[in-house]
């Protein structure tokens, strides 16, 4: 009787357990279903089918040169996507062995792994038993932010339910991912998505950051190091915690050995090897043409705004931005600038060894200090108490400063650092392929990290005599010719009496060509007054100069500030047979999948006739002839069997040195000067454009001609077939009118 009762009691327990089990299973399926359909909006939305088919991670936009070089990236997170075949097998094996050894066997959720976690970790409390999340679940979490507040519904606020809902969402999303993608695609997405620390997202960025190589070349030890970082990138960083990194790496190597991915000898050697990295973090200050890339960033802001896209979307959109920059031409431009500016800075320091260039300007440094970030920060602390602010700014502190010998760690006060930096000369260079309008080189300054101001397009400075060709071109367009004569004499227009750089007047007659070549100020002044200042302003606009121009006589001598970019645009019209082709520096933009979003074709319009444009080139060639201001170009060995049209420029008090040179292939312009008009050489011997700027252009062009891989070669400007005006003024007969008309000759009649 007693045995029967006990058997009946036992059966009831079994029945109860089975009922509970069935209810648990049914409840679990019901719960999963409710989460999957977001029943009554209580659980939060799951990723849509479209989102699963087109998962979007934050990808850096990449900038490429015209010859296919990666110039740099625009990003919030540094991520470079790669294909499965571009990942070292050691990485794949290390990841599977460490994170999900049953990856090839489960369908997104590893029930066996979950069971192990439940019994060993939860029931037995063994923390080393590992987690139950598969790689697919981790990918779901990373791609779709399943744990973000925006993804959770009201029930997530119930204690104990939040994590259960999150896990259910990850399980469901993981299963759906497995249905949409192959195992290879899933592991590739995972490795492209995960963070490795030090702003390296994805395996390719991590490989470059920590080992300075692509992910395809990683060996077993390097692969184990990177996979080891995934558990805790900061804690196991090989940069800051090499010993902890080594221990974690060896755990990964142990897993690889355990599951047969490494043989015993390889494993033994690997775990005994110290951590060795080749640390190359992504630095936006480095790379090809950093000033130009900053301009591309500003372009992208405007471009996306015009398309109605969110602000700064390009940082994460994964665009590929193909530019017109030629990396070889860019390199020669930078090399020419650096070599010359080192020498000029040395000379500048010698000249001003005992005085500051601004010694005659009271309170100059203090005024400069008030524009500094340090001053603004101290002002928040001390208010209007300038005595306290400047007391702080005179206290020495450690800092790293720029020098032409490399960065230097030093101790100086903020005031001394302002004095130190103010004494630097700066430079800008831009090279335009006139026939296409494509920018081939862009050097905005001497060092992007320490001096961000761009002297190609951002900085406006008085152009001095480099503006004179605009005046002469206006006259040529109005019917004047290179042989029209004017006298170098003292003249006065109202309260303005222009002076020549050599301090006197010859009293001689010069043709317009001679006057431009020798850069005679009095003749340029007479010419602008004769043809009308407003006509010059109007024609300057047609040439592409957009900066404000003061309509006064001194405009002929470059009194109104312009940019190097727009001045070179104007000269390009002369080379391009009178057509103005608007400069472009981006050729096309594609999306992250390589689909072309937009291609850029420059607008072209006729500004002056082909014959008159050629006349301007002919006139500018006089600058290289005896008496011309650009004769120094001959010493660079680039003028033989080669036509060059050029103009130098020097502003008042030698504050700016300019040189614009034109070959048959391109227009390139150079500016050199200080932060402002007070940072200058005291003598025109050192401060003129022929000394400050011309050598950069000469060395730049010489390097291009010596590189046989670049298509720019010495040669001659194409002469229009139908021009009959006599360009050699010495051959003109006496008594000919001082304004010679252009006659069009019918080639067939010759």
CATH of residue 68's domain is: 1.10.3810.10
Return d(Cα 94, Cα 249) in angstroms, integer: 10
How many structural domains does the chain have? Answer: 2
Give a yes or no: residue 365 inside a domain. Answer: no
Give a yes or no: residue 293 inside a domain. Answer: no
* DSSP E strand boundaries for 495-557: 509-511
Give a yes or no: residue 295 inside a domain. Answer: no
Q: Compute the residue count for the chain.
A: 750
576-617 confidence digits (pLDDT tens): 999 999 999 999 999 988 999 999 999 999 999 999 999 999
Give a yes or no: residue 561 inside a domain. Answer: yes
Return d(Cα 531, Cα 533) in angstroms, integer: 7
Return d(Cα 609, Cα 573) in angstroms, integer: 10
Return d(Cα 297, Cα 289) in angstroms, integer: 13
Distances (CA, A) of 548 to 419, 440, 462, 551: 32, 27, 11, 9
CATH of residue 520's domain is: 3.40.710.10
Q: Cβ distance 506 to 486 under 8 Å?
A: no
Give a yes or no: residue 585 inside a domain. Answer: yes
Residue 130 pLDDT > 70: no
Return d(Cα 412, Cα 227) in angstroms, integer: 44
| Crossing angle (nearest 10°) for helices 135-144 and 89-99 | 100
Higher pLDDT, 33 or 638: 638
If you average pLDDT over residues 680-689, what whole number do you get?
94
How many CB atoms sit inside 10 A of residue 223's CB? 28
* Angle subtended at Cα 288 by Cα 287 and Cα 290, rounded to the nearest 5 degrees: 80
- Domain span holding position 192: 38-271
The pLDDT mean for the chain works out to 86
Q: Is 686 helix (H, G, I), strand (E, B) or coil?
A: helix
Query: Is residue 603 classed exposed, middle or buried when 0-12, 13-18 and 19+ CB atoms within 10 A define those classes?
Result: exposed
Beta-carbon contacts of residue 287 (< 8 Å; ≥ 6 apart): 70, 71, 72, 293
If you average pLDDT over residues 165-175, what whole number do you get?
65
What pLDDT does 565 receive?
97
- Which one, of 283, 289, 383, 381, lies nearest residue 333 by Cα? 289
Give a yes or no: residue 26 inside a domain. Answer: no
- Which one, of 703, 693, 711, 606, lies nearest residue 430 by Cα? 693
What pLDDT does 282 receive?
81
Return d(Cα 749, Cα 540) in angstroms, integer: 37
Give a yes or no: residue 85 inside a domain. Answer: yes
Q: Cβ distance 99 to 230 under 8 Å?
A: yes
639-658 confidence digits (pLDDT tens): 999 999 999 999 988 899 99
Return d(Cα 96, Cα 111) in angstroms, integer: 17
What pLDDT does 494 receive?
87
Q: From 223, 251, 271, give the residue that closes a domain.
A: 271
460-507 confidence digits (pLDDT tens): 999 999 999 999 999 999 999 999 999 999 999 988 999 998 788 999
Return d(Cα 408, Cα 395) in angstroms, integer: 19
Q: Is 303 helix (H, G, I), strand (E, B) or coil?
A: helix
Give a yes or no: residue 157 inside a domain. Answer: yes
Q: How confident is the model at residue 103 (pLDDT cuts 50, 70, 90)?
A: confident
What pLDDT does 738 receive?
38
204-231 confidence digits (pLDDT tens): 999 999 999 999 999 999 999 999 999 9
41: left (phi over 0), alpha (psi -120 to 50) or beta: left
What pLDDT does 8 receive?
60
Q: From 271, 292, 323, give the residue that closes a domain.
A: 271
């Amino acid at each position: 009787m007693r045995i029967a009762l006990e058997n009946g009691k036992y059966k009831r327990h079994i029945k109860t357990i089975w009922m509970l089990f069935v209810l648990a299973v049914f409840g679990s399926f019901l719960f999963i279903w409710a989460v999957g359909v977001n029943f009554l909006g209580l659980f939060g939305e799951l990723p849509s089918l479209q989102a699963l088919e087109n998962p979007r991670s934050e990808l850096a936009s990449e900038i490429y040169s015209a010859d296919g070089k990666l110039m740099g990236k625009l990003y919030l997170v540094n991520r470079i996507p790669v294909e499965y075949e571009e990942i070292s097998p050691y990485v794949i094996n290390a990841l599977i062995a460490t994170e999900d050894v049953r990856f090839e066997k489960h369908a997104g959720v590893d029930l066996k792994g979950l069971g192990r976690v439940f019994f060993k970790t939860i029931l037995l409390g063994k923390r080393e038993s590992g987690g139950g999340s598969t790689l697919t679940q981790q990918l779901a979490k990373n791609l779709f932010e399943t744990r973000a507040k925006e993804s959770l519904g009201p029930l997530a606020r119930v204690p104990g339910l939040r994590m259960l809902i999150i896990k259910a969402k990850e399980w469901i999303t993981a299963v759906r991912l497995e249905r949409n993608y192959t195992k290879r695609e899933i592991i590739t997405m995972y490795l492209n998505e995960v963070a490795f620390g030090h702003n390296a997202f994805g395996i390719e960025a991590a490989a470059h950051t920590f080992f300075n190589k692509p992910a395809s070349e990683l060996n077993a030890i390097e692969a184990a190091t990177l996979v080891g970082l995934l558990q805790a990138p900061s804690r196991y960083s090989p940069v800051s915690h090499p010993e902890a990194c080594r221990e974690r790496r060896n755990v990964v190597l142990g897993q690889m050995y355990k599951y047969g991915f490494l043989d015993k000898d390889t494993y033994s050697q690997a775990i005994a090897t110290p951590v060795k990295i080749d640390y190359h973090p992504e630095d936006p200050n480095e790379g090809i043409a950093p000033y130009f890339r900053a301009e591309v960033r500003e372009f992208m802001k405007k471009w996306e705004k015009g398309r109605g896209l969110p602000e700064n979307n390009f940082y994460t959109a994964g665009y590929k931005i193909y530019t017109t920059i030629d990396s070889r031409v860019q390199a020669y431009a930078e090399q020419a600038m650096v070599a010359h500016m080192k020498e000029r800075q040395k000379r500048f320091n010698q000249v001003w060894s005992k005085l500051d260039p601004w010694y005659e300007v009271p309170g100059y440094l203090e005024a400069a200090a008030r524009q500094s970030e340090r001053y603004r920060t101290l002002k928040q602390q001390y208010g209007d108490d300038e005595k306290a602010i400047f007391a702080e700014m005179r206290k020495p502190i450690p800092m790293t400063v720029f020098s032409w010998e490399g960065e230097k760690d030093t101790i100086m006060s903020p005031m001394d650092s302002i004095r130190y930096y103010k004494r630097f000369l700066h430079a800008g260079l831009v090279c335009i392929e006139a026939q296409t309008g494509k920018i081939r080189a862009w050097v905005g300054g001497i060092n992007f990290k320490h001096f961000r101001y761009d002297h190609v397009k951002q900085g406006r400075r008085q152009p001095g005599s480099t503006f004179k060709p605009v005046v002469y071109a206006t006259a040529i367009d109005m019917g004047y010719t290179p042989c029209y004569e004017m006298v170098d004499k003292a003249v006065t227009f109202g309260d303005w009496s222009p002076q020549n750089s050599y301090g006197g007047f010859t009293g001689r007659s010069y043709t317009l060509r001679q006057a431009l070549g020798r850069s005679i100020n009095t003749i340029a002044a007479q010419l602008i007054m004769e043809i009308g200042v407003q006509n010059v302003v109007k024609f300057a606009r047609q040439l592409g100069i957009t900066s404000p121009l003061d309509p006064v006589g001194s405009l002929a001598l470059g009194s109104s500030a312009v940019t190097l970019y727009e001045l070179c645009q104007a000269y390009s019209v002369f080379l391009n047979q009178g057509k103005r082709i608007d400069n472009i520096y981006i050729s096309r933009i594609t999306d992250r999948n390589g689909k072309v979003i937009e291609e850029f074709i420059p607008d072209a319009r006729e500004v002056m006739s082909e014959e008159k444009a050629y006349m301007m080139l002919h006139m500018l060639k006089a600058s290289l002839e005896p008496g011309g201001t650009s004769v120094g170009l001959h010493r660079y060995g680039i003028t033989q069997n080669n036509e060059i049209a050029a103009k130098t420029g020097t502003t008042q008090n030698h504050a700016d040195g300019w040189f614009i040179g034109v070959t048959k292939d391109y227009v390139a312009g150079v500016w050199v000067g200080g932060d402002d008009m007070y940072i200058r050489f005291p003598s025109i011997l050192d401060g003129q454009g022929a000394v400050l700027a011309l050598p950069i252009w000469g060395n730049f062009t010489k390097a291009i001609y010596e590189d046989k891989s670049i298509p720019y070669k010495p040669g001659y400007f194409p002469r229009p077939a139908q021009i009959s005006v006599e360009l050699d003024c010495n051959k003109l007969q006496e008594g000919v009118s001082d304004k010679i008309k252009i006659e069009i000759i019918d080639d067939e009649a010759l």
